């Protein structure tokens, strides 16, 4: 279908410390015992998209990610890994691989997207409107635990998610305004001429930019080349394209028009005008056309391009893993309500449970984990090869691989990374424990972030 897929997997993220480390870059952060990148790649594979470019920040991270992909998708995907320097932003990452982009349209997906929205739908919307950029919007996920009976501290973390302000036309097909993240604190500026052309704009704050975009390649490369300062797709490039959609620089359309002219060279120019006129008259005019016409309706004076939006239906699942809270939410949802995202079983083949140990619903136990007697696990994810002693209580938590938990520990609302050792009678509440940390016997922590000091 002449689409190329770029997965921006990222590398390190300050939002997610101490969960990620040198050994575990962000794409490999396990969500329900699978690296978060798996969800994106799996989704793409299901959509029959098998030629991917995965962009990873940092060489070490690329090495890890590449190793994991070659192990996991050994025969199902054709993946190319590109390592880019850190801190060049999403736009910089695309700039770095821009010379590899050859297809007509480019689908850019963030590697931390956990979603069941088919990428084909975005691509089809993009094609149907012949848009310069199509962004996928989804409803803002409810952050925080739904059943927050366990702790009062939850309410603190359940602050409203960062709003995006998104303007749509009345048909909800075109993107008229987009302001994200940090821009919102400042005053937001609407483009008067866009508002004038459309007549009506719907401003929504309940939609989130899911960071899945379809770009026309020529437009994307043009913008990347011209605007050297643009750092981020979401905050620079997409808003720029949306802003300039009614007066885009000539070159944006010049290319596509040249292509059209190439197609039509056999018919005389006069007839070609007629053909395009018949086609244009037959379709419902969007607000772009009247604007690009002179008042007498004859000549196209201004170049326009279309910015479309694909709004995922409210029943679909779509969350980005960009904060600790999102990490907890996704872990909970993937084992619970959105379990269709995982294709295989939830409880691994060989967990060893002691007597009188109960594992509640919405739980996941990795293979090779052992649990002692009289343990309780509720709404938690436990990784592979964990050793858990007896009388341990784990609620609303994520325990990654190779964790040793001593007898009598209580873990609530916490994340315990790989290779952590919890000695006996440790109590953790809303804590984050970095990889390889050792919590000594009998300690109690509440709402702290524990990580091994880097040597």
Partner 1 sequence: MDPRRSARTVSDPKVRQVGFFTPAAPPERSCSDPPRQQDLIQPQSPSSTQVNDHFRSGDSLSPVMIPPPPHHHSDTLHRTALQVTSPKTAFSYSARTVTIPTENDDVPSSLSPSRKVVAVKSPSSYPGVRASSVPASELTTVSVVNLPPGISEKAGGGASVEVQNDRPVRSKSLKEKTSKAERRAMQEAQRAAKAAAKAEGTKASSAATKVVTSANTKPSKAAKPSSQKNDGSQFAASEKKVGDRAPEKDRKKDAPHPRMQYDDTSRVEKAKKRAVVKQTEVRNRVELFRHLPQYEHGTQLPDLETKFFELDPMHPAVYKVGLQYLSGDIRGGNARCIAMFQAFKEAIKDYSTPPEKTLIRDLTARISSYVSFLIECRPLSVSMGNAIKFLKNQIAKLPLALSESEAKATLVSDIDRFINEKIIVAEKVIVKHAVTKIRDGDVLLTYGASSAVEMILLHAHELGKQFRVVVVDSRPKLEGQLLLRRLVRKGLSCTYTHVNAVSCIMQEVTRVFLGASSVLSNGTVYSRVGTACVAMVAHAFRVPVLVCCEAYKFHERVQLDSICFNELGNPDAISKVHGREDINYLDGFVNRENLQLLNLVYDATPSDYVSMIITDYGMIPPTSVPVIVREYRREHLWS
> Binding of partner 1 at residue 1 (CB under 8 A)?
yes
Which one of residues 149, 160, 263, 361 is an interface residue with partner 1 (CB under 8 A)? 263
379 φψ region: left (φ > 0), alpha (ψ -120 to 50), beta (else): left
- Yes or no: say if 416 and 403 are a contact pair by the CB < 8 Å rule: yes
198 binds partner 1 (CB under 8 A): no
Q: How many CB atoms lie within 10 A of CB 171?
A: 11
CA-to-CA dists, residue 259 to 273, 401, 417, angstroms: 15, 54, 53
Residue 199 within binding range of partner 1, rule CB under 8 A: no
What is the pattern of x (binds partner 1, CB under 8 A) and - over residues 278-297?
A: xx-xxxxx---------xxx
Scanning 114-122, 142-150, 327-335, 346-354 for contacts with partner 1 by CB under 8 A, the matching segment is: 114-122
Within 391-430, the residues that bind partner 1 by CB under 8 A are none
The Cα–Cα gap between 64 and 66 comes to 5
Q: How far apart are CB 80 and partner 1 at their closest, in Å?
A: 4
Binding pattern to partner 1, positions 143-182, x when CB under 8 A? ----------------------------------------
CB environment 90-125: b (16+ within 10 A), e (fewer)? bbbbbbbeeeebeeebbbbbbbbbbbebebbbbbeb
Closest approach, Cβ 37 to partner 1, in A, equals: 12
User: Toward partner 1, which CB reaches closer, 98 or 376?
Assistant: 98
Quote the least distance from Cβ 334 to partner 1, whole Å: 21
What six digits make up the tokens of 314? Answer: 């409210």
Q: Applying CB under 8 A, does 123 fall inside the site for partner 1? A: yes
Place of tokens 């020529």: 218
**120 binding partner 1? (CB under 8 A):** yes
Smallest distance, partner 1 to C-beta of residue 77, A:
5
Query: Of 17, 23, 86, 124, which one interacts with partner 1 (CB under 8 A)?
Result: 124
Minimum CB–partner distance for residue 117 and partner 1 (Å) = 9
Interface with partner 1 (CB under 8 A), residue from 275, 356, 358, 441: 275
Relative to beta strand 398-399, strand 415-416 is: parallel
**Residue closer to partner 1 (CB basis): 317 or 437:** 317
Contact 383, 402 (CB under 8 A): yes
Decide if 204 contacts 135 (C-beta within 8 A). Answer: no
> Contact between 127 and partner 1 (CB under 8 A)?
yes
Position 138 contacts partner 1 (CB under 8 A): no
* Contact call for residues 396 and 412 (beta carbons, < 8 A): yes
Q: Which of 250, 258, 274, 438 binds partner 1 (CB under 8 A)?
A: 274
Shortest spacing between CB 272 and partner 1, in angstroms:
9
In the complex, the smallest distance separating the C-beta of residue 171 from partner 1, rounded to whole angstroms, is 10
* Cα three-residue angle 182-185-189, rounded to 5 degrees: 95
Task: Tell me the closest approach of the beta carbon of residue 33 to partner 1, in angstroms.
Answer: 20
Q: Which residues contact residue 392 at a Cβ distance below 8 angstroms, ignoring those fewer than 6 apart?
A: 371, 372, 375, 376, 405, 407, 408, 409, 410, 411
Scanning residues 299 to 318, which ones bind partner 1 (CB under 8 A)?
A: 313
**CA–CA dist 212, 130 (Å, integer):** 17
Residue in 118, 144, 153, 368 binding partner 1, rule: CB under 8 A: 118
| Binding-residue total with partner 1 (CB under 8 A) | 75
For residues 228-257, which are near partner 1 according to CB under 8 A? 228
Task: Kindly state whether residue 206 participates in binding partner 1, applying the rule CB under 8 A.
Answer: no
Q: How far is the CB of 374 from partner 1 (least distance, A)?
A: 42
Q: Considering the complex, what minimum distance in angstroms separates the CB of residue 364 from partner 1?
A: 26
Check if the beta carbon of residue 174 is closer than 8 Å to that of residue 306. yes
Residue span 38-77 as binding mask against partner 1, x where in contact by CB under 8 A, dash where not: ---------xxxxx-x-x---x--xxx-xxxxxx-xxxxx
Residue 226 CB, nearest approach to partner 1 (Å): 9
Judged by beta carbon, residue 80 or residue 448, the one nearer partner 1 is 80
If one asks whether residue 4 binds partner 1 (CB under 8 A), the answer comes out as yes
Which positions from 79 through 108 interact with partner 1, judged by CB under 8 A? 79-85, 88, 92, 95-100, 102-104
Residue 216 binds partner 1 (CB under 8 A): no
State both tokens at 1: 């279908």
23 binds partner 1 (CB under 8 A): no
């Amino acid at each position: 279908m002449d689409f190329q897929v770029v997965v921006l997997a990222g590398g390190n993220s300050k939002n997610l410390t101490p969960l990620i480390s040198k050994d575990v870059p962000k794409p490999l952060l396990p969500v329900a015992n699978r690296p978060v990148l798996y969800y994106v790649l799996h989704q793409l594979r299901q959509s029959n998209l098998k030629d991917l470019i995965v962009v990873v920040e940092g060489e070490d991270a690329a090495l890890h990610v590449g190793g994991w992909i070659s192990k996991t998708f050994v025969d199902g995907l054709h993946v190319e890994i590109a390592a880019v320097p850190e801190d060049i932003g999403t736009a910089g990452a695309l700039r770095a691989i821009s010379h590899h982009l050859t297809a007509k349209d480019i689908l850019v997906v963030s590697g931390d997207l956990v979603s069941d929205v088919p990428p084909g739908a975005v691509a089809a919307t993009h094609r149907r409107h012949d848009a310069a950029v199509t962004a996928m919007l989804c409803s803002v996920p409810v952050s925080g635990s739904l059943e927050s009976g366990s702790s009062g501290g939850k309410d603190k973390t359940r602050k409203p998610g960062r709003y995006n302000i998104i303007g749509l036309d009345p048909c909800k097909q075109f993107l008229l305004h987009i302001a994200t993240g940090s821009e919102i604190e400042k005053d937001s500026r609407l483009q008067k001429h866009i508002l004038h052309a459309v007549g009506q704009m719907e401003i929504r704050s309940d939609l989130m930019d899911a960071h899945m975009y379809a770009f026309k390649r020529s437009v994307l490369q043009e913008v990347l080349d011209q605007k050297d300062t643009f750092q981020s797709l979401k905050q620079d490039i997409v808003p720029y394209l949306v802003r300039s959609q009614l007066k885009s620089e000539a070159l944006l359309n010049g290319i596509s028009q040249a292509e059209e002219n190439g197609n039509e060279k056999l018919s005389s120019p006069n007839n070609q005008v007629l053909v395009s006129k018949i086609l244009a008259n037959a379709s419902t005019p969007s607000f772009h056309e009247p604007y690009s016409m002179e008042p007498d309706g004859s000549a196209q004076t201004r170049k326009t391009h279309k910015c479309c939006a694909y709004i995922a239906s409210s029943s679909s699942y779509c969350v980005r893993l960009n904060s600790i809270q999102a990490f907890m939410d996704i872990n909970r949802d993937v084992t619970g309500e959105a379990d269709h995202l995982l294709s295989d079983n939830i409880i691994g083949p060989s967990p060893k449970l002691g007597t009188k140990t109960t594992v509640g619903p919405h739980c996941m136990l990795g293979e090779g984990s052992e649990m002692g007697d009289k343990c309780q696990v509720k709404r938690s994810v436990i990784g592979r090869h964990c050793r858990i002693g007896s009388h341990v209580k784990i609620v609303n938590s994520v325990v990654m691989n190779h964790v040793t938990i001593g007898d009598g520990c209580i873990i609530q609302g916490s994340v315990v990374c790989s290779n952590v050792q919890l000695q006996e009678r440790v109590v953790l509440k809303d804590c984050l424990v970095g990889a390889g940390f050792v919590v000594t016997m009998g300690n109690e922590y509440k709402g702290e972030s524990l990580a091994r000091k880097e040597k």
